[in-house]
Structure 1
Amino acid sequence: MKASMDDLYLFMLTVRHGGISAAATAHGLQRSKISRRLQELEKALHCQLLIRTTRHIELTENGRLLYQHINQPLTEVNHAVNLLESQQNSLQGVLRLAATASFISSPMFAEVLDAYANQFPLVRIELLYLQKSVDLERENIDLQLLPNMAEIINVDYVQQAFLTSSNGLFASSEYLKQHSEPKTIAELQQHWLLASRYNSTLLQEGTRLRLMSEDINMIQQMAVFGQGIALLPNILMQESLLQGKLVQVLTDVNFSDIMMTVVYPSRRFLPEKTRAMVTLLREKFADQS
């Protein structure tokens, strides 16, 4: 489906006038017609061009790219259209991915990046360390990985769970030698606990927190140093357990699961490079849950 030149012209008018209503008024057109044609243009180009709000519109990165060429000769306009179509449908360009620092630095995520880089060598990956949900469209971020407890800034964004892990309590052998190992959940009150902002809410009221951090790796390291008992996702602790850096305590105590969610702006306008990463994440962690 090719983009219509009439729709491109309406897009140009909308940007020039700063909104659909203003463009409709200035040129004696129906607002509903312009809105409908802009949706058809986005559908034809397989990408979102405008961020619509109640009072005005903003250009996405793709929208800015198209508008840069829209006043040029017809050959330039066709070039811009072809460029957007190529970007959406090909496995090349830049993939901007945001995630928590602890997940980005985990060995399992490194394996995902390695597999992606081997399969799609023409895609350059940019990683952003973000702990909270952000406006992906305005920040020009393709997808974000967040714990399920994090509040997503835009409820219209697509959210898909790709990893579920139970939580456990972990301490170093040295710590347990110096302190009596807790045998019940009540005995945890006698120990210092280390937890993330997300899973600290799982602990009983009155629990003594020595460290609360966004960085799971820092919590894990402090537990290795013997600074307390850490509440951490089991799936990320396998290497430390195998190396003997940590041991699990109170193995019969069940905490709520933590779930990792992949968030992206639109299923309808999902570029192939982004779709490939989403698929790889789900395939990689399907057997880990």
Structure 2
Amino acid sequence: MNISLDDLHLFVLTVQHGGISAAAKQHSLQRSKVSRRLQELEKTLGCQLLIRTTRQIELTENGRLLYQQVSQPLTEVTQAAKLLSNQQKSLQGVLRVAVPAALITSNMFSLLIDKYLGQFPDVLLEVLHCQESVDLKRENIDIQILPDGVKVQNEDYVQQTLLRFPSSLVASKEYLQSHQPITELSELVAHPLMVSRYNQASLPDTLTLRLCSDDLRLIQHMATTGKGIALLPSILLKDALKSGELTAILVNEKLPEIKLTLIYPSKQFLPEKTRALITLLRDTFKLT
């Protein structure tokens, strides 16, 4: 026996509103459709549920028994559905975002988070330090940002490319003054290099790596204190270059870029708090 939950719901609504016309009007349905579905329900169950009169309806004994058994569970299901719908539409609750350490330490990301929290004070934002792709649905994570080259676990997830970040080679003035001028990339073989693992693979194997870290701020600090030459995203270096704390070298050399990818499970079932952060990311990082 295949009983339609929709038909059961219409039956409960008809009883609650005291008639087919009232139930249809209250829920913007056609009276003929409600009447037809109730007849189908009676046919499926093999018994009469309602005694129809001109002005109202009456329950048969079978109708009263069915209503007593199904009215509360169906009402609870409806309330649960409304609760979930409201939660999807609300700008509150927990939003979990997984990002690599390189992004966590950037001023741009900090300003973005500050702006989001200011706009949506009822959202609890959980920022997780994560270097590898995770199964967002299983880990209950709403958004992940990953650097280029990291394989995404689930190819069905939505993937959008963020603005590409060009890189610069930098060192302190003191370091450069104590060494011969560097005029071409091959001359870096005589210098200790400090890189992130995101751009390490793009460098020639002949170069000597002194430090490889996911923490870009650490790499910048080591360059500032004269420990060698650093390859860093240009966007992180604006203040240090402006103040003279660091100096760019080989500025005309084509250097590797860091590309970030925004990942989330689905466009169709996107809570408003998640959509709001994606929009902010789009505005900040110029999604393509």
Show the counterpart of 2:197.
197
Show the counterpart of 1:251.
251
Question: What is the Cα deviation at residue 127 of structure 1?
Answer: 0.6
Contact kept? 2:105, 2:216, Cα under 8 Å:
no
Question: What is the Cα deviation at residue 169 of structure 1?
Answer: 0.4
Show the counterpart of 1:107.
107
Cα pair distance change 1:5/1:171, threshold 3 Å: farther
1:273-284 to 2 correspondence within 5 Å? 273-284=273-284
After superposing the two structures, state which structure 1 stretch, 74-83 or 272-281, moved more. 74-83
- Within 2, Cα distance between the matches of 1:258 and 1:233? 7
Unaligned runs of 5+ in 1: 7-71
CA-based RMSD of the aligned residues comes to: 1.9
Question: What is the Cα deviation at residue 138 of structure 1?
Answer: 0.6
Contact kept? 2:195, 2:230, Cα under 8 Å:
yes
Q: State the percentage of identical aligned residues.
A: 50
Show the counterpart of 1:285.
285
Show the counterpart of 1:27.
none
Moved beyond 3 Å, runs of 4+? 72-76
1:122 maps to amino acid: D
Give the structure-2-normalised TM-score: 0.72
Residues 56-107 of structure 1 show CA distances to partners (whole Å, capped at 9, x for unaligned) of xxxxxxxxxxxxxxxx944433332122111211211111011011211211
Show the counterpart of 1:149.
149
2:180 maps to amino acid: S
Show the counterpart of 2:171.
171
Show the counterpart of 1:29.
none
Say yes or no: does 1:210 pair with 2:183. Answer: no
Max Rg structure: 2
Question: What is the Cα deviation at residue 160 of structure 1?
Answer: 0.7
- Within 2, Cα distance between the matches of 1:245 and 1:184? 22
2:256 maps to amino acid: S
Residues 211-263 of structure 1 show CA distances to partners (whole Å, capped at 9, x for unaligned) of 11111111111111211111111112112212322111110111232211111
SS at match of 2:144: strand
1:23-42 to 2 correspondence within 5 Å? none
Give the structure-1-normalised TM-score: 0.72
SS at match of 1:165: coil
SS at match of 2:163: strand
- Within 2, Cα distance between the matches of 1:93 and 1:180? 57
Show the counterpart of 1:82.
82
Question: What is the Cα deviation at residue 178 of structure 1?
Answer: 1.9
Residues 105-126 of structure 1 show CA distances to partners (whole Å, capped at 9, x for unaligned) of 2111111112111221211111
Residues 150-207 of structure 1 show CA distances to partners (whole Å, capped at 9, x for unaligned) of 2111111111112211111011111112222311111011101111111011111210
Show the counterpart of 1:39.
none
Question: What is the Cα deviation at residue 5 of structure 1?
Answer: 4.4
- Within 2, Cα distance between the matches of 1:216 and 1:209? 15
Show the counterpart of 1:159.
159
Contact kept? 2:199, 2:257, Cα under 8 Å:
no
Contact kept? 1:169, 1:248, Cα under 8 Å:
yes
- Within 2, Cα distance between the matches of 1:243 and 1:102? 22
Say yes or no: does 1:268 pair with 2:268. Answer: yes
2:178 maps to amino acid: Q
Contact kept? 1:163, 1:282, Cα under 8 Å:
no
1:139 maps to amino acid: E
Show the counterpart of 1:69.
none
Show the counterpart of 1:41.
none
Contact kept? 1:173, 1:246, Cα under 8 Å:
yes
After superposing the two structures, state which structure 1 stretch, 136-145 or 240-249, moved more. 240-249
Say yes or no: does 1:230 pair with 2:230. Answer: yes
Show the counterpart of 2:23.
none
- Within 1, Cα distance between the matches of 2:116 and 2:95? 11
Say yes or no: does 1:123 pair with 2:123. Answer: yes
Show the counterpart of 1:242.
242
- Within 1, Cα distance between the matches of 2:209 and 2:256? 19
